[in-house]
Structure 1
């Protein structure tokens, strides 16, 4: 497949056909890796919830409570005791 370099501001770029974008699941950000054969373009995929544990630990260290402790006092059992008929 042949394509041309096009001017993009002070740089140059290429237009990738839609079929290639879909076939290789390329969208948003991509990783460019120089190889002896040319330039390798790969999709950047970040695992879901990456870094959550570190952020939770930072939040706890900063004085924020885990969700179970935050929601602990929000339970309203008075409805079940006074208004619910068994």
Structure 2
């Protein structure tokens, strides 16, 4: 399959046909890897939600509230103090 390199603002890019995007599950962010044959485009896994069920079960088994273990590091107190309005 051939396609053309086109100007996109100050950069250049290619247009991928919808069928290819669907076939290879390319949505949003992709990983580009140079290879000997050319450029490999791979979907980026969304690890934020992977394993949530197991983590909830583990937290409950440990007698913890799931929110405490699972959301650790996701809280931004500075945002809550400066941006959030009650």
TM-score between both structures, scaled by the size of structure 2: 0.58
Q: 3-state SS of the aligned residue for 1:32?
A: strand
Aligned to 1:36: 36
- Please list every run of 5 or more consecutive structure 2 residues that lacks an aligned counterpart in the other structure: 56-68, 78-86
**Alpha-carbon spacing, 1:57–1:42, altered in 2? closer, same or farther (3 Å):** closer
TM-score between both structures, scaled by the size of structure 1: 0.58
- Please list every run of 5 or more consecutive structure 1 residues that lacks an aligned counterpart in the other structure: 63-86
How large is the RMSD of aligned CA atoms in angstroms?
2.9
Q: What is the aligned length?
A: 60
Kindly state the Cα deviation for residue 54 of structure 1 after the two structures are TM-superposed.
7.1
Runs of 4 or more off by more than 6 Å in structure 1?
Answer: none
